[in-house]
Structures are given as structure tokens and as C-alpha cells.
Amino acid sequence: MNKTIIVTGGAGFIGANFVLAWVKQGFGKVVNLDKLTYAGNLENLVDIQHNANHVFVRGDIGDQKLVAQLLAEHQPCAVVNFAAESHVDRSIHGPEDFIQTNVVGTFHLLEAVRAYWGGLNATDKTAFRFLHVSTDEVYGSLEKDEAPFVETRKYEPNSPYSASKAASDHLVRAYHHTYGLPVLTTNCSNNYGPHHFPEKLIPLVIHNALAGKPLPIYGTGQQIRDWLFVEDHCAAIRRVLEAGKVGEVYNIGGWNEKPNIEVVRTLCRILDAKKPREDGKPYADQITHVEDRLGHDQRYAIDATKIARELGWKPQETFETGIEKTVNWYLENQHWVNNVTSGDYRNWVQKHYADRGEEMA
């Protein structure tokens, strides 16, 4: 079997970081299947635009025929599924897309993969992996003094987003239990880093601060998230793909629990030092408390002991080093942010890829 992998959702935040690292580090060929929703941005992949080890295909994971064709054509040794609707606030305003992609889409993807896998020879069948990228949000919300989430924690998803991810995790589990599909599932905490769409807390705050806009804190800002630098997440996924035990779940986290208000204040302090406001006032003056998110989960925290013990993975970045790298990236890539916030990245996609047909190698 060749070393080609299929990555879904590889034009989004984490998927793009994963694909860039995979191709740049020479791990092999990636076929990148992405629907290019509002969250998919081909500009994320410009560094590997002309790399023969990257094949971009615009399409939906729910398009079973297309996925079957790609599997037959490229004969991958693994499929890594990042594709999803991922923003909790959007899921509250309109859950339907979340059900379509995260639940129905994952089902069709699994069906196509099951058919392909069933037709492989014995050696390739044993070597094949379906890795499903999921979230800690499926476990629900922790009390202040509760122990962090372990892999055996019961699922208690609270938002339409986390419920749809939980449903997809269950399907993946069932395809292993029922059909023997060699699956791996990872449940990760909140990521941050380059190419993060500025609707999520950290990139939104960096963008709004520099634009002189309010920094919206939902409710008290005392909600706690466990933050992991995106490149650490990508390294963990590579490690699980390489050495994870089939059928197992691995929790991935940064051991970095922070209340939202502290994250925002840290960002303000870093920006005060790197790019002071023209009026000399602190960016923290822009902090504005706004109405809380409906059903807002109070606390997420990951116990990443299993992946450390069994696979030897540990995060390389602390929150302090990771957040500094992140702020630097946004300061150095203001054109990316401007293209995203103005919507120009969509025109950019048309301008640069219109003549290339659906595939970009």
C-alpha cells in the first residue's frame, strides 16, 4: 500500500496546519477533500500550492460517490477526518448544517471507507486506519473541583455542535465494533495558533483589539477552557495514526486550563508590548462584557495521561510560548486576517483557482 492519505477538512484551521506539516515534512502525499464552507480557506495552503504531494479536491464528505472515487483512485493507507462544522455559536443559531455534515456526512464517509477497506488485500486491510478528529466538548461541562476528562468519561454533550460531534464519535465506534473498521478517535481540547478563523475567541480578540473594536466577553468570563497549540495537536494526531491501538480513544490536551478573561487579558498585555495603541492606553480598556452564550459550558479540561503513557506524546508548547507565537503570526499576517474578515479570501479562491478546475495539485 502506498503512503498516500486522504485528509478531510484540510482547508480549515487544524486541517490546514496538519496538511502543511505533513507535506512540508515529507511524510507523503495528501489528498485534501474540503467543501470550502465559510471556514475553508485555500489561502491557508498557498505554501504547498505547487507541491506534487498535495492534491486539493473541493467536495463534501457526504458525497459518497465522490469519496468512493477518490479512495479507488488514490488507494490511501489512511483517512483523517477533520471536516466538520465547528463553531458552537453558529450551532446555536442554526444547528442543521451541524447535523448534515457532522452526523450525516460522517456516516456517508464511513460507508465509503468501509466499502473501500472491505476490498483491500489482507495486508493493506490490517494496515489501514480511519482517524476521527473529535473534541472534549462531547463530555459536557465540568464542575470547578472535578477531575479532568478521561477517555472513559460518559458523554454528556450540551450544545448542538457537541451533540453532533458525539453522534459522529458513536458512529465511528460502531463501525469498528460491528464491521471491524480499524478506527482511532481523538478528543482534543481548544486549539489556538496560525490560520485560526477570527470567529473563535483568541483570533477574534487579536483582530478586534488591533481594529479598535470591543473585546466581547460572554457573561463573567470565568468559564474555563484547556488550550493546546495547534501544532502540538497535529503532532499528537500523527503519533496516534502511527502507533495508536485500533478501536481506542485518545484524549489530547495542553494541561493549560485558563478562564476566558485571563486569556483575553494575556492577549491584551502581549499586544500592549508588541503593538501599543496609538493613544498609549491599554488594549484591556476595550474589554466589554456581553450577554452570555446560551447553555454555556462552564469548564473543559483534558486528562492527557493515556496518550503520554502509551504513545509518549506530550505538548511541546506552554501556553506562554504558544500564545506568543500565535500573536506574532497574526501581526505578521494581517493580509490573511483582512482577506478573511472582508470576505476577500473567497474572491482570492476564485481568482487563483478558477482556471484549475476542481483539483489543485
DSSP 250: E
Q: Is 218 in the site for ligand TYD (CB under 6 A)?
A: yes
Please state the closest distance from residue 147 (CB atom) to ligand TYD, in A.
19
Nearest CA-CA partner of 133 in 193, 61, 198: 61
Please give the backbone phi and psi of residue 50, each rounded to the nearest 5 degrees, phi first: -105, 15
- Annotation marks residue 292 as catalytic: no
- Annotation marks residue 139 as catalytic: no
Q: Is 195 in the site for ligand TYD (CB under 6 A)?
A: no
Residue 186 cell numbers, joined:
481523538
User: From the list 190, 251, 266, 286, which residue makes contact with ligand TYD (rule: CB under 6 A)?
Assistant: 190
Q: Which stretch binds ligand TYD (CB under 6 A): 39-47, 210-218, 266-274, 320-328?
A: 210-218
Q: Whole-angstrom Cα distance, residue 345 to residue 331? A: 18
Q: How far out from the chain centre does Cα 259 lie?
A: 21
Q: Which candidate in 116, 139, 161, 300 is catalytic?
A: 161
The residue type of 54 is H
Q: Is 216 in the site for ligand TYD (CB under 6 A)?
A: yes
Q: Is 200 in the site for ligand TYD (CB under 6 A)?
A: yes
Q: Is 223 in the site for ligand TYD (CB under 6 A)?
A: yes
Q: Which helix (H) or strand (E) holds 54?
A: strand 54-58
In this structure, the strands spanning 257-259 and 224-229 are antiparallel
Q: Which is nearer to ligand TYD, 48 or 217 (CB)?
A: 217
Q: Is 88 in the site for ligand TYD (CB under 6 A)?
A: yes
User: From the list 106, 185, 191, 256, which residue makes contact with ligand NAD (rule: CB under 6 A)?
Assistant: 191
Please state the closest distance from residue 278 (CB atom) to ligand NAD, in A.
32
- Binders of ligand NAD among residues 6 to 65 (CB under 6 A) are 8-9, 11-15, 33-37, 39-40, 60-62
Q: Whole-angstrom Cα distance, residue 80 to residue 85? A: 16
181-196: burial string, b at 16+ Cβ within 10 Å, e else: bbbbbbbbbbbbbbbb
- Give the catalytic positions in this structure: 136-137, 161
